[in-house]
Amino acid sequence: MKNHPYSSSQRRTPWDGKEDLSPVQAFIRSRYLDTWQSHHRILKETDEAELLNHLEANCCRYCGSVSFIRNGYTSNGIQRYKCKDCSRTFTVLSNTLFDSHKISIMEWIEYLLNLFGYVSFHSTSRNSRIADSTVKYWLFKLFEILKHYQDNIVLSGTVYIDETYYHVMKKDLIRKYDGTLKAAENQYCIGIGYDGSRVYCHNEGLGINTSYQKTFDTFINHIRSGSALIHDRERAHSILIKPLELTSVSYNSSDCKKLPDKDNPLQPINDQCNLLKQFLRAHRGFSREFLQDYLNLYAFISNPPYNRLEKIEYLLNCVINNVKTIRYRDVMSQKADK
């Protein structure tokens, strides 16, 4: 994406290039552009070049060769390198999320802060004055980084599991001849697990319920053996008990619903289902082929470290170190190394 990432329409005012502006027009135009510019300071004007020059490139960003030399600075003041093997020049940002963008890292951070606050992408775009298409592009990059984030999540201790459902997009709703909706083809089943600190969620595919096979595939590698399993009376859950040597405690969910929240033994997992739904609703217009990516993002947002700035620190390190994907364990070991 070589284009300037901001929509030019957002930079425009009705009075651009005109002479004889009224004092009111001139005032609005100059204030508006001031605000716009303060959101879009170019890299050169921030201290980010300094930050980036503290980071040493460890290999060529294109071919991976370790045979490279320093080769001056870019116009933004960032150290440039030249590879002796493929002859290409690169900086620590080449081939990363920030490649080709004359954007400030602060803007990306601002974007992530919005995102982690359950703000819809449209509002994110509006808040940061960034084009919708840029927000989407950044989001897909983030999805790439988080692709394998949940692979190493293993819930332990007291583990709650349940299923929650999310509808297909309106335009994809499938109806019977009489016009009523076909339930099984209009919603995705999401398996969700929670151990009091970490959440794990997985798209089990279309359907009105889970199955032995789906439950097995979803959870078998994500619950530590010997844990206590707390769940409703969904029969399919029983497939996990023997292989994982779980102590199972199950409750009748319709009986539990009659209890006040504080007395409901299934409330911790109900809360997780509700939070997940709230998150998905904030982004409701997304194509469902990305449902698993949204679940990965939800897990990343919900799980430790809870501090948003620490989350950003990890993502930023991943991007700059040119690591395409991160796993939960990697994040946690970075935490432990501190």
Residues that bind Zn ion (CB under 5 A): 60, 62-63, 65, 83, 85-86
Query: CB of 51: closest distance to Zn ion in angstroms?
Result: 24
Nearer to Zn ion, 83 or 155 (CB): 83
Query: CB of 126: closest distance to Zn ion in angstroms?
Result: 41
**Distance of alpha carbon 161 from alpha carbon 277, whole angstroms:** 16
Nearer to Zn ion, 7 or 95 (CB): 95
Amino acid identity at 5: P
Please answer whether residues 38 and 110 qualify as being in contact, where contact means their C-beta atoms are separated by less than 8 angstroms: no
Nearer to Zn ion, 63 or 113 (CB): 63
As a whole number of Å, the end-to-end CA separation of the chain is 36
Place of tokens 């552009």: 33
**Distance of alpha carbon 274 from alpha carbon 166, whole angstroms:** 11
Burial 103-123 (b: 16+ CB within 10 A, else e): bbbebbbbbbbbbbeebbbee
Nearer to Zn ion, 83 or 230 (CB): 83
Nearer to Zn ion, 51 or 63 (CB): 63
Query: CB of 109: closest distance to Zn ion in angstroms?
Result: 30
Query: CB of 84: closest distance to Zn ion in angstroms?
Result: 8
The phi and psi torsions of 241 (rounded to 5 degrees) equal: -65, -50
Query: CB of 96: closest distance to Zn ion in angstroms?
Result: 15
**Distance of alpha carbon 45 from alpha carbon 48, whole angstroms:** 8
* Closest by Cα among 155, 160, 157 to 249: 160
